[in-house]
Structure 1
Amino acid sequence: MSSSFDALAVLGDSVAAGSYTDATGWPSRLSECDALSGTSVHRFGSTATTLAEHAETVEEHLAETVAAVDTAEPRLCVVVHAGHNDAQLSDGAPRVSEGEFRHAAAELDRTLANHDAVGWHGFLGVVPLLSVTGGVGFDDAQPGRSLLYDDAIHATVADHRAVARPVEAWHDRTTDGVHPNEAGHEHLAAVVTEWVDDAA
């Protein structure tokens, strides 16, 4: 089956990048996804990147992806996998307030929906932020706050695929309470494969 898209753009952070683990990140595991067969993958965002930041930089990331595709009228698949950092604390408060987060998600969703080159886009849910032995370490508000932010995305954007629940399953899918391990990235890749193929 030929690909439905010319490129995949992932707007994420260290989770989508596959950082802090020896496992291959989920964007590089989509070989079973018919709609993305043979397409190039373009990742944007790194450690500490917030969804709110992506709302401000999305146009330049899309322009960069379009420029990299050798097609006159490229059709992009865009997956947003951010929000983990928005829900974390900085100086005792979330890095991005819930209200600002909802606004950023709505703006990002609108920009992607109205962009001529974007054939389909969706928001892959936040992984739950967990306190595990030897992990990043979180206050007692987690994983509740990360679930609250994930629910905020779900209530705000047109297409969101939740992955955080059941939370208990993620104790075996994380290296440090934030970043997925082999099992975590494999799970995310399976979710994205089914989701994109169903949407294409």
Structure 2
Amino acid sequence: MRRAGIILFVLGVVLTAFGTISGCGAFFAWNGRHPTAVHPIVLGTPLRAKIDAKAGRRYVVGVQVVFEREGLEERDGAVVVPAKLPLAAHIEDGSGVAVAKVTGWLDPSEPTTFLHGQAHAEGPRKPAELAAERLVGPYTAPADGAVPFQIDLGPDRVGTAKIREARAVVYDDALPAAIARAFAAAGVGALALVVGAVAFVIAILRSRRGGTRRRHFV
């Protein structure tokens, strides 16, 4: 029993440390959005699609345009993307009323547009995808069901940056499975640690009692 307790204790320490470190690392790197679906966008053609919503979940639709890095200027180690695409998008509730709207521009130079992969990649590592994204939402689903949304993204008015593709990414706020698994491993490890420690202590107490009884018999 003492050996089993030691094994459980060591296993618990390893699992707890691994789960906590990996879980915390993934959690703090998580931006709070979990992608659930991707829809291709044709510039100049409105996209109408639906979110397979779950009650209580918060949803956001990201309008993304992926650019080629070739020919783009760099300033202070960051890529500059000269682009300006007209955008009108909205998410509807069950009655067809637009509850989250975005109108204006998808412009990487504006603060409302996020530019992912802007930093210059060092060494032989492949550079990250260069994508400009503007968010529509959030919208919290009151019940399970289909939630329609529409995106009308026009052609680039600048026209100097090469566009690889455009897409709509649906996000919810569900915790990613990798983070959940890491914290679950930490929980199992903590349980194994406690059980192993208790088993080890019980084994020591039993061995001491056995030694005391033998001395009394002698």
TM-score (norm 2): 0.27
**The structure with more helix, counted as a fraction of residues:** 1
**The structure with more strand, counted as a fraction of residues:** 2
